């Protein structure tokens, strides 16, 4: 854990350009003193805004990798999650293998600059120059389940990875990969402990199976720095017989539940949704004839989990995550668009606003607090989710229904009120109100495409200007 906490400085000013300073110039990432967030060693807060680029190392050449990373940087992403290998061996776009001699990695330097690991090095370095961390899922879980990495091989692989990247500033280790932690546990434990024994510079988590959390198996593991859950791609009424039951299906889309459960555990560790629904993917994944998740759905998952107390969020897009080329042949899960077309879909660029919103206020004191909702809260899609600090509160409504809000939960006899549009970060000042319980409703129709964020701030604080029209 880090021992330094920096607080936001109250100031009324117009938005500034993103800092050109690279994040690791503030020191390596570590867990905040209160156990709920990530920060740098000097106390600079880190809000995780992840993009899911699973097949980036395998599918994109160097020119296209740069195109993709440039797009991520422009949209505010500071983490890209990749499958380091999706096969044993995996092969990249140049036809080079990840395991030319099995788990003997002594021969890979003969592969040349287009070699699998040389290409991986190139991608990581280009991400570093853009201030982006690479979240490395070391090996996909299905491969381990099929017996393609045992504990002895995990030790060799962990030694190779840790020695190769321990001095690279922009690495975050992911153990697991879409798998439950009680499957081949010895291999995961060996991989994690081997990497940690060599690399003390980087944080580590576990990427679990859909509708599960790393808290289920590894919360108290010494190598697990923060928890990750996969809320998954199914809607409320969908089950597949892979561990679901009726009760679980009934709350399938409520990703905020994983956050609340994780933060209730001791010792407290940071938590986030590392794989929610993807934009432009069929609900339930497997049948393209089902409705497809859209930008307003991915916004809901982001604000629900972050306002519940998550330290960040990861976005995904069906075509981007598999780097689908487009054309007549469909990709996995019915993908039609090319990955470059996916970069133009609205959800990809809209995620930046949740990051900018959270960083506009004191960071480390923020908690999820549903007591802010004074009246009877809605159910499922009508549920409002609230987060607050000592002198500000934020409430997300997916359907824009009227909300009774208790402004006494924060300081100040009077409160300034804004509405934020999460599609574009625009702000509308709604006036000053007296302390107490008030009913609020945003402009426009009631419905899932008109989601809004209510912002209330102690009138003596100057986090936002009344005349400010955008984050």
Tell me the average confidence (pLDDT) per consecutive run of 10 residues in the chain, 471 residues long.
60 52 95 97 97 98 98 98 97 96 91 92 98 98 97 98 98 97 98 98 97 96 98 87 57 93 96 97 94 97 98 98 93 96 98 98 97 91 96 97 96 97 96 96 88 97 90 90
Same domain, 328 and 385: no
- Choose one of 358, 388, 412: the last residue of a domain: 358
Q: Flag whether 12 is in a domain.
A: no
- Among 155, 167, 179, 127, which residue's Cα sits nearest to residue 23? 127
Same domain, 132 and 177: yes
Sheet holding 133-137, edge to edge: 204-208, 171-179, 133-137, 79-83, 48-52, 312-315
Same domain, 350 and 373: no
Q: Flag whether 469 is in a domain.
A: no
The CATH number linked to 450 is 2.60.40
Q: Flag whether 2 is in a domain.
A: no
Q: Flag whether 333 is in a domain.
A: yes
- Give the model's pLDDT for residue 375: 84
State how far the Cα of 351 lies from the Cα of 15, in Å rounded to an integer: 17
Same domain, 237 and 124: yes
The answer to whether the beta carbons of residues 284 and 235 sit under 8 Å apart is yes
Same domain, 371 and 335: no
Q: How long is the chain?
A: 471
- Give the model's pLDDT for residue 17: 45
Q: Flag whether 155 is in a domain.
A: yes
Q: Are strands 271-273 and 437-440 parallel, antiparallel or unpaired?
A: unpaired
Same domain, 332 and 402: no
* 255-312 pLDDT, tens digit each: 999 999 999 999 999 999 999 999 999 999 999 999 999 999 999 999 999 999 999 9
Q: At what angle do helices 295-308 and 256-263 cross, to 10 degrees?
A: 20
Same domain, 52 and 100: yes
| Number of compact structural domains in the chain | 2
* 188-201 pLDDT, tens digit each: 999 999 999 999 99
Same domain, 350 and 415: no
CA dihedral 213, 219, 222, 225 (to 10 degrees): 60
Same domain, 264 and 372: no
Same domain, 182 and 243: yes
Q: In sequence order, which residues have a C-beta less than 8 Å from that of residue 446 and are 6 or more positions away?
A: 399, 400, 401
- DSSP state, residue 282: B
Q: Per DSSP, which regions of 253-389 are E strands?
A: 271-273, 312-315, 367-368, 385-388
- Choose one of 322, 339, 358: the last residue of a domain: 358
The CATH number linked to 154 is 3.20.20.80
Same domain, 312 and 401: no
Preceding amide of 267 cis, omega within 30: yes
- Choose one of 317, 332, 358: the last residue of a domain: 358
Cα angle for residues 98, 103, 107 (degrees, 5° grid): 65
Segments forming the whole domain that contains residue 390: 367-458
């Amino acid at each position: 854990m880090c021992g330094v906490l920096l607080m936001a400085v109250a100031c009324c000013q117009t938005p500034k350009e993103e800092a050109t300073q690279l994040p690791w110039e503030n020191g390596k990432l570590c867990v905040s003193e209160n156990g709920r967030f990530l920060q740098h060693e000097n106390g600079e807060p880190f809000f995780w805004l992840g993009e899911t680029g699973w097949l980036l190392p395998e599918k994109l050449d160097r020119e296209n990798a740069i195109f993709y990373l440039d797009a991520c940087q422009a949209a505010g992403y500071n983490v890209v999650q990749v499958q380091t290998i999706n096969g044993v061996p995996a092969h990249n776009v140049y036809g080079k293998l990840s395991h030319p001699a099995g788990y003997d990695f002594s021969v890979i330097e003969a592969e040349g600059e287009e070699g699998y690991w040389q290409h991986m090095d190139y991608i990581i370095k280009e991400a570093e120059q853009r201030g982006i961390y690479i979240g490395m899922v070391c090996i996909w879980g299905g491969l381990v389940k099929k017996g393609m990495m045992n504990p002895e091989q995990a030790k060799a692989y962990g030694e190779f990875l840790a020695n190769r990247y321990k001095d690279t500033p922009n690495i975050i280790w992911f153990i697991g990969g879409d798998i439950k932690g009680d499957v081949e546990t010895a291999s995961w434990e060996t991989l994690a402990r081997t990497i940690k024994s060599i690399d003390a510079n980087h944080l580590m988590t576990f990427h679990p199976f859909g509708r599960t959390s790393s808290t289920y198996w590894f919360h108290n593991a010494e190598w697990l720095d923060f928890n990750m859950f996969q809320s998954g791609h199914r809607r409320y009424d969908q089950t597949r017989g892979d561990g679901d039951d009726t009760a679980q299906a009934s709350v399938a889309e409520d990703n905020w539940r994983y956050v609340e459960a994780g933060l209730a555990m001791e010792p407290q560790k940071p938590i986030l949704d590392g794989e929610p629904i993807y934009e432009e993917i069929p609900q339930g994944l497997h049948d393209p004839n089902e409705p497809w998740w859209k930008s307003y759905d991915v916004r809901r998952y982001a604000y629900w989990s972050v306002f519940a107390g998550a330290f960040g969020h990861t976005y995904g897009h069906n075509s981007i995550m598999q780097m689908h080329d487009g054309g007549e042949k469909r990709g996995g899960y019915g993908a039609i668009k090319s990955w470059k077309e996916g970069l133009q879909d609205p959800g990809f660029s809209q995620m930046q606003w949740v990051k900018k919103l959270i960083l506009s206020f004191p960071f480390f004191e923020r908690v999820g607090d549903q007591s802010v909702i004074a009246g009877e809260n809605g159910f499922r899609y009508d549920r409002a989710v609230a987060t607050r600090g000592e002198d500000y509160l934020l409430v997300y409504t997916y359907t824009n229904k009227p909300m009774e809000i208790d402004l006494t939960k924060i300081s100040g006899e009077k409160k300034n009120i804004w509405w934020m549009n999460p599609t574009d970060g625009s702000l509308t000042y709604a006036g000053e109100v007296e302390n107490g319980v008030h009913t609020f409703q945003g402009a426009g129709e009631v419905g899932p495409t008109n989601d809004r964020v209510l912002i209330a701030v102690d009138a003596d604080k100057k986090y936002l200007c009344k005349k400010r029209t955008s984050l």
